[in-house]
Chains A and B, each alone.
Chain A
Amino acid sequence: MAKVFIYPATSLMLSDLVARYGHKPLGSALSVREHIQAGGFDSPPLQITPEDPKKGLHWAAVEVPSGVRGRMSLYGPLVEEADAAIIIEESDFAFGCMGCARTNELLIFLLKQKGVPVLELSYPKTKEEGVTFVASIRTFLAELGGEKA
């Protein structure tokens, strides 16, 4: 079973398909869960404390805005853990503020730098593209080993 980073990290479809074919999807829910289940000082809504942008320094330089570094404290450990990645290019719903946009760019850069197998796709717009989308993901995951579906 490989750990597959999914981008957009909140994607329902990628999360489902990766788990369906026997691998572990690495999405933002895992990091958020870890944060909100850890004790400490109350810092709603995501329990991001002043310590997190410091942790983010591991992946982003000090002159990078703290918003990016804070986000990287959620995503960075997942990128480190990833054995592979599936990226949906130009996904509309990953659109956000400048902090999100820069974090997304940095995430894709880090994944490609890491040298793990990366599958790039776009969201299907027709039924035929749906078949291609699922077949591409299935083939990619089967090559990682451990397909069960």
Chain B
Amino acid sequence: MKEYNPEYVGTETKYIFVDSPTTTPQDLAIAAYEVAMGVMIKETCFGVQVTGTPDEVRRIVERLRKIDPFHIFIKDRGFPPGDERRCRANLGGSRPGYLGHEYEIGLSRFISHGLKETDTMKPEDLKKTAQPFKREPPLDIEELASIIEEEA
């Protein structure tokens, strides 16, 4: 076993995804560089990644979210950008975790619509709109039997 010397200790990395008709990852990267003050910014195909101390990252993230609040989505990342254990430049194929992002960014148009619609709602209207989760009832045994008979 060899010794492990971690890099970027004390930093945090955030993913900033954009799925907007008016804002591109390049717009975000330019806006981030304007206020970066030495913080690491990496432009990607889906948005940008920001790596720095928690305070620096918070400052940049707050600035970027204002650009297109209903179409920008932000989450934490465990690894810094370019880490050999995750970066597809070293591994080949999609980055581990990419499929999850791909799945959820496909839903972003519904969430963006929800954010826009609920933005001006009062708490009472929000409560009326909020609905408890409804689990679909399990398949009735007789219905299952009829399906089997039909298939047979």
Contact = CB atoms under 8 A, between A and B. Distances in A.
Are the chains A and B members of one assembly?
A: yes
Interface residues of chain B: helix, strand, loop or mixed (majority):
mixed
Given A12-B104, A131-B114, A133-B110, A19 B74 contact: yes
B79 A138 contact: no
Contacts of B5: 39
Interface string B104-117: 11011111111101
Which bucket holds chain A's interface residue count?
35 or more
Contacts of B112: 130
Contacts of B22: none
B4 A132 contact: no
Interface stretch (A56-64, A108-116, A120-128): A120-128
Contacts of A120: 132-133
A98 interface: no
Q: Which of A11, A25, A136 has the most CB of B within 10 A?
A: A136
Contacts of B8: 37
A93 B9 contact: no
B137 interface: no
Contacts of B12: 33
A51 interface: no
Nearest to A129: B110
B24 interface: no
Contacts of A12: 15, 17, 73, 75, 100-101, 104-105
24 contacts: A10-B97, A12-B15, A12-B100, A16-B74, A25-B75, A29-B77, A33-B79, A36-B85, A37-B9, A39-B3, A46-B85, A121-B133, A124-B110, A124-B111, A126-B110, A130-B111, A130-B112, A130-B114, A134-B111, A136-B129, A136-B131, A138-B126, A139-B127, A140-B130
Interface of A: 8, 10-13, 15-17, 19-20, 25, 27-33, 35-47, 89, 92-93, 120-127, 129-136, 138-140, 142
